[in-house]
Structure 1
């Protein structure tokens, strides 16, 4: 019997029960156990960006060139794209929990092996598999979080969690300051220790993650309604034990259960049933992927090549703090002001500011470039975080993880692989003359892509604030 054949019909109030829950300690466990993936990603990316100079010497590093640094960023993103697609499909098929455990283990092993790199090729391969683990995490984690967090909090939680990338970025930048100081740590070992720290954090996250339950929404749609009831009963007992009164749930949904959903139906849903939503997600992901992967993967290299900075950690830490503050301080507005105006506004504003920065790039110092980046990405951070929120909530539940993976992979391939390669090449070509204005073209491309994303969101964006996931996009299996 085909795995996508109907196996039964069930009427349930599980979505209503989850959405009417008050905020409680259980939800903090979900955030700590699942949301920390972005901290790991931020730690990884920043360590690489901060240690660009440490990787260049042949004796203490790996003998890498400016282009190699950009290539390493592109390889990491390519791994993340492939990992998202592979693990995204498996997440929808086999469940959220199995995959968010497997992907974290893959990340941990790959980042440990990176610390033992003997040559650039070893380093590139390890970066690829590290990215694959992180890419798989994005699909599994965003799905699980949105299906466990109540509807009134989903927007702000998603934006803050995605913005927590910058907590890892700030930590990575500060950690590299002593580790890359040759007076404190042997240059041959400092950058290796930095990679090992990511694995230590990952093990801690894994211990918490074991206690996060499988998504009840995934369970009842895949014929495991008894398990779904047990999970929700346990969640309600935990929250009641904390002293919270639970309101009566309102509404039920009837679904035709299947073991899995075929790729043909998923593709038809994305491109035929929701073409405008597909356009919105593509535009948002391409814009933010190019902006971040191009600017941030090569930011440390820009400071050292053109602006005479020896230690980039402090500059990157300031930049990272601004990014996290943007996501944190603006997040509530995505649930109150609304998705469409907030997403469009943050994309348009950050695009315009980036274009202005490109125009005055030749007059900026390391400090003023960092200040300009901090202002731009205060708004861009909230916008980029909302791209993941958007794709996670505006498509049917059965396709959620795969849709996240698809748009992440397509958008990131278009913006995140080309971005680091372009900036790496621009920096390489301009390094001889020392003319920083030659990399401004990268800023202009990023600005245009962000503005296009903002305009498309303003026209076709979905009003999803404070609505149940099942109301935003009816499940494919709904009777």
Structure 2
């Protein structure tokens, strides 16, 4: 049931969007964005230690298919966690949930380190994924609502790309931990998982100082609290930058509600924004299959087919190229534009991946890694932009759940099937040591990425520099919102057949 609590007119969105960049924003980036470092650490540790988990005496007796199964279980947990915690994030607030989900992750990672058998390991990986999935929904919505519109694209893409900072750290840290001359083989992989819990505690300390989203507060009848937070932020930013903040004229009128029903949310996503729904689904499926299939099993491919004993160095180089791609290209999503950059990165990375599949029989560990670096330099920026798209093109009341929904559905299709499919391909080809046996997986991933890019070219939303409220009017906004204000929508936008935006309104 939806409970209305009042009606207010506020300028908070415009005030948050007009802020210049300051140290306060860096605190938001560090406190919230570090979740991707954790995810990268988790995924890379599993990929780097695939061989360490296979022995029955020092590991857990896992096969290559089991390694793929562990990846699929982790992703399944992330999907469920995203849906459960995403709904709670829209209902109870961003801050409360991004503290809870980090706690779930921390406990589950410790449980993983103490795994006694494959079943325990799978269960712990499921819970770890649930915490990370919940983080995606809570964090992406909070970041977009706290970062000014001018910087939202580059910040979101770069933060999502920081996954590869964790991946680099994880791959390098596992090198000494998996060296039997330095650490006992039965304990090295356990210590590796424990690193994630240590990092999570540090993030929790910083995150305690991140405020609740003022946008969420004023919609849920807590406008006094929202006003106090914005005033504190404005005072802090003015002191840090030495700049006097200008006044704003844009306002939005809101019918405050304590809750918004799931029926209304579902109607919004599927009825009001069907083209945006297709867009987000396509982007998430493509990047989820590509990354989860390739990266979850990359270490296993190197050791199985190319006789690499220590995969950490190769994975570190691969991860660095991914982070550099997201970092270097991130600014272009605000300047060149969302549609061109998303379509371009998806299609180009798909074409390069397909080309690599044709030459798999001739690769070495070095050349395969080099090709992977080139492909994923572009793919990482595109994949990061999928999360950006889902977080900015739907109404505020549905933002966290929409992120969770598309992450869960897209990842369930691509992220669960990918590791299972690649794990099976590796198992089948391992007897003959013929790496060309996994080429079909490359072709499938390439096709999905190219398809996602084509969809983005036709249905993408030109969101660069626009306020969240102008891209998708809040469900609680009054229909007679001031002309030109944050909630205004024009008839031209409603009739726009491409799903792109014109002026200040939201295309559908």
Sort the TM-score into its range (normalised by shorter chain).
over 0.9
1:401 alignment counterpart: 400
Q: After the TM superposition, which residues 356-367 of structure 1 pair with which residues of structure 2 at under 5 Å, given as runs?
A: 356-367=355-366
Instruction: Tell me by how many angstroms 1:93 deviates.
Output: 0.2
Which of 41, 44, 49 is the aligned partner of 1:43? Answer: 41
Instruction: Tell me by how many angstroms 1:442 deviates.
Output: 0.5
Distance 1:263 1:22 in 2: 36
SS in 2 for 1:55: coil
2:410 alignment counterpart: 411
Distance 1:143 1:179 in 2: 36
1:452 alignment counterpart: 451
Instruction: Tell me by how many angstroms 1:241 deviates.
Output: 1.7
Distance 1:244 1:166 in 2: 35
Distance 2:250 2:433 in 1: 64
1:159 alignment counterpart: 157
1:202 alignment counterpart: 200
Give the paired residue count: 477
Distance 1:235 1:66 in 2: 51
Q: After the TM superposition, which residues 286-435 of structure 1 pair with which residues of structure 2 at under 5 Å, given as runs?
A: 286-435=285-434
Distance 1:250 1:443 in 2: 52
Distance 2:216 2:230 in 1: 12
| TM-score between both structures, scaled by the size of structure 1 | 0.99
Instruction: Tell me by how many angstroms 1:142 deviates.
Output: 0.1
Distance 2:228 2:76 in 1: 39
Instruction: Tell me by how many angstroms 1:247 deviates.
Output: 1.6
Residues 231-270 of structure 1: per-residue CA shift (max 9 Å, x gap): 1011011112212321212300001010011010111100
Distance 2:29 2:3 in 1: 35
| TM-score between both structures, scaled by the size of structure 2 | 0.94
Distance 1:184 1:343 in 2: 44
Residues 324-349 of structure 1: per-residue CA shift (max 9 Å, x gap): 00000000000000000000000000
Moved over 2 A (4+): none
Distance 2:464 2:8 in 1: 27
Residues 337-396 of structure 1: per-residue CA shift (max 9 Å, x gap): 000000000000000000000010111000000000000000000000000000000000
Q: After the TM superposition, which residues 81-230 of structure 1 pair with which residues of structure 2 at under 5 Å, given as runs?
A: 81-230=79-228
Structure 1 residues without counterparts, runs of 5 or longer? none
Distance 1:309 1:232 in 2: 54
| Cα-Cα RMSD | 0.5
Residues 418-440 of structure 1: per-residue CA shift (max 9 Å, x gap): 00000000000110011110101
2:12 alignment counterpart: 14
Which of 35, 55, 58 is the aligned partner of 1:60? Answer: 58
Structure 2 residues without counterparts, runs of 5 or longer? 479-508
SS in 2 for 1:135: helix
Instruction: Tell me by how many angstroms 1:52 deviates.
Output: 0.2
Distance 2:47 2:160 in 1: 19
Instruction: Tell me by how many angstroms 1:284 deviates.
Output: 0.1
